[in-house]
Structure formats: structure tokens, C-alpha cells
Amino acid sequence: MLQQQPLTGNGPSNGRGLGVSGHPGMHALNSVHQPSQHRSDGGESGLEGTENGHETRRDIGDILQQIMTITDQSLDEAQAKKHALNCHRMKPALFSVLCEIKEKTGLSMRNTQEEEPQDPQLVRLDNMLLAEGVAGPEKGGGAAAAVSAATSSGGMSPDSSLEHSDYKSKLSQIRSIYHTELEKYEQACTEFTTHVMNLLREQSRTRPVTPREIERMVAIIHRKFSSIQTQLKQSTCEAVMILRSRFLDARRKRRNFSKQATEVLNEYFYSHLSNPYPSEEAKEELAKQCGITVSQVSNWFGNKRIRYKKNIGKFQEEANLYAMKTALGARQGDDSPHTPNSTGSGSFSLSGSADMFLGVPSVNGEQSAYQMQVLQIVSLFRDLLII
């Protein structure tokens, strides 16, 4: 990509032409001084030689002065001066010397050029963007992962697909913005690099610019743009995280169970009123029937037990309804409301936790206590019939 010599234009090659071999700059400098030495040895004129030497130094001083002041001048003046300097007879020699000095100082810089290890933070950001489906091929793997993570903890609500599409569309927006910006940055980086390289090529005609220096400059530019890209990646990651947390929060919101699900749970509860503690298997079956998770079933039974116990009177009507329903269903050979907890129902006892329910003081007086007893008997009958 970067060529070794042509970048310096006619400088070093011409300079080398003045010397003998090897170190172009020093030989060029020697060649500048040589005439005075040779001539003082009894050439055409010793005085003339000395004058030549002085004249040469004046030339160099003049050139250096012009270079030093070139930035203070207007663009047109500088352009004209640049041209004049390029054509100056001493230019190749001076150019070579500067090249050599630069080469020497460049050695120390070369050593300081470290091999940049890949930034671990950048790696993390890249990995995350890839996992979230923002970077890499468009497939929405991350979205699917987020969706599955969310649904595994909550249970699928009827409008979950709606939220999925909402999440996906938001993620796709982020993805689109990310790629647009990334492309913009890359384009800007390329343009800026080209611009700087052209500038350096141009400058290399009047000052020594080594290919290595250009390489370094390009590397610096790339580093700068890379840090901008890192910022972009960081912002994108933050946006994804916010979106994701919002999505998860939204799913964590309480949703009332469907009427059908509540019906199934209530049927189990009132038909097992003597021992409303479904086994793990029963919970799983109920969860399956209701389209909720096992922990949601546990929550529901926990709440139901406590609320029922707290206010039996309030639940009386409901209890009667379900007791009648299940009893009727069992008599007709209808097995719809029963769950596979036959082991539990078969061994119901009136002691232990069940006593808690039977022994609860009635808020509605004796009538409620009597009804409770009836319900218990109905429930037991129902279970026996099912078995």
C-alpha cells in the first residue's frame, strides 16, 4: 500500500545522487562542504572556495528560514514559496539531511510503537452486540433469547406475541441505527485517511515524510475513529439493555389469569378443600391446563388458601358452586375438573393441615360451619367416586 520512495518525490533520490553511497543525507551534507575543502587545497581559488562555503551556508540558512516562516504567510504566498523552495538548488541536499535526521529520530519512535492488544471492553461489547443480534447476521437470536428468558419466568399471556413483535421491531430499529452510524464512521474514516495521506504526499515534496510516518498517522486516525466506534457500540449496548429491561419489566407486570384458568384452579381447590395442597405432579398438570407456570400455581394456591381461610363466608357461594359442579360432574362420570393428584386425594385426612381449614372459626356462624362440613363431605365423596 505505502511505497517506500516515491512518496518523497525527487528528494532523496536526488540527494543520494549528490553523495557517493550508503547514507544519502550525510554524504549530501559532506558534498556541500566538500567543495570548500577541496578548493582550499589549492583549487582555482582559496578565497572563492571560502566564499562558496559561506554562500552555501547562507543558502541553507535561507531555506530553513523560509520553511520556518512559511506557515505565517498567506496560502498563495506559501504556495509560491513552496514552489520556489522546490526549485531551489540546495533543496535536494537539505532534504536528504532532514531525511537522515528524521530516520535517526524515527528509530527511537519505532521502538515505542507498541503492538496494540485488543481492548477487552471492545471485545465484550462486540460479543454482546452479536449475542443480541444487533451485530452480525440479521436473525434476531438475541431477541429470541430475551423472549424465551422472559417467558420462562412468567408464563405466556395471550398478547405475548404482540410484545415479541414490539420488542423485535424496537431491536431492529436499534440495529438499523447502529449499522447506519457504523457505516458513516467507516466512510468518514476512509475519507479522512485518504485526505491526510494526500496531504502528507503533498507535503513530502517540501519536507521529509517517510512512509512509516504516514503509516503511523493512518494508525492514529484509525485509533481515533475506533474509539468513536467503541462509543457507538457502548451506546447501542445501553439501548439494548434498556429495551430488554423494559421488555422484561413489562412481562413481569401482573396479569390476571384467564377465566378458564381460574376455573380450573378453583375446581381443584374446592374439590380438594380438605387438603388443598396439590402435589408437584398436580401442580404441573394444573400449570399445563392453565397455561401458567408451576410457581404461579403455587402462588395461586398460597393466596387462595390464606384468603379463603381469612374469610370463608365471602367464598361460600363460590365454594358451593364448585362443590355442586364437581359433585355433579363426578356423578355423571364427567372427569373434567379432576387433576392427576389421585394419590393425594385418596389419602386426605382430617388432621394436619386439613384441620386448619375445618377448624377455622366461622365468620358466618353455625350455618357456615355446617355448610363447610357438607362441602368437605361432598369433596370426599367426589374424590372417592373418581377413584
Residues forming the site for DNA (CB under 7 A): 154-155, 252-257, 262, 277, 280, 292, 296, 298-303, 305-307, 309, 314, 353, 356
Rounded to the nearest whole angstrom, what is the least distance from the CB of residue 189 to DNA in the complex? 45
Distance CA 53, CA 47 (A): 10
Distance CA 101, CA 14 (A): 17
Distance CA 88, CA 367 (A): 121
Rounded to the nearest whole angstrom, what is the least distance from the CB of residue 295 to DNA in the complex? 7
Rounded to the nearest whole angstrom, what is the least distance from the CB of residue 248 to DNA in the complex? 10
Find all residues with CB under 8 Å of 376, minimum gap 6, and list them. Answer: 273, 274, 350, 358
Please name which of 28, 150, 42 lies closest in space to residue 91, comparing C-alpha atoms. Answer: 28
Q: Using the minimum distance from each CB to DNA, give the nearer residue, 38 or 309.
A: 309
Check if the beta carbon of residue 229 is closer than 8 Å to that of residue 182: yes
Rounded to the nearest whole angstrom, what is the least distance from the CB of residue 282 to DNA in the complex? 10
Distance CA 64, CA 85 (A): 10
Q: Using the minimum distance from each CB to DNA, give the nearer residue, 201 or 305.
A: 305
Q: Using the minimum distance from each CB to DNA, give the nearer residue, 96 or 266.
A: 266
Please name which of 142, 386, 130, 355 lies closest in space to residue 271, comparing C-alpha atoms. Answer: 386
**Could you tell me how many helices (H) and strands (E) the chain has, helices first?**
16, 0
Check if the beta carbon of residue 171 is closer than 8 Å to that of residue 133: yes
Rounded to the nearest whole angstrom, what is the least distance from the CB of residue 242 to DNA in the complex? 17
Please name which of 297, 264, 286, 274 lies closest in space to residue 346, comparing C-alpha atoms. Answer: 274
Q: Using the minimum distance from each CB to DNA, give the nearer residue, 176 or 260.
A: 260
Rounded to the nearest whole angstrom, what is the least distance from the CB of residue 124 to DNA in the complex? 28
CB atoms within 10 A of CB 12: 24
Q: Using the minimum distance from each CB to DNA, give the nearer residue, 181 or 263.
A: 263
Please name which of 223, 239, 13 lies closest in space to residue 116, comparing C-alpha atoms. Answer: 223
Q: Using the minimum distance from each CB to DNA, give the nearer residue, 189 or 292.
A: 292
Q: Using the minimum distance from each CB to DNA, give the nearer residue, 207 or 305.
A: 305
Q: Using the minimum distance from each CB to DNA, give the nearer residue, 117 or 158.
A: 158
Q: Using the minimum distance from each CB to DNA, give the nearer residue, 178 or 308.
A: 308
Rounded to the nearest whole angstrom, what is the least distance from the CB of residue 133 to DNA in the complex? 26
Rounded to the nearest whole angstrom, what is the least distance from the CB of residue 147 to DNA in the complex? 17
Q: Is the dihedral of CA 101, 105, 110, 114 positive or negative?
A: negative
Rounded to the nearest whole angstrom, what is the least distance from the CB of residue 265 to DNA in the complex? 8
Burial 296-317, CB ≥16 within 10 A → b, else e: bbeebbeebbeebeeebeebbe
CB atoms within 10 A of CB 23: 16
DSSP string, 209-239: --HHHHHHHHHHHHHHHHHHHHHHHHHHHHH
Cell numbers for 257: 389469569
Q: Using the minimum distance from each CB to DNA, give the nearer residue, 10 or 262.
A: 262
Rounded to the nearest whole angstrom, what is the least distance from the CB of residue 154 to DNA in the complex? 6
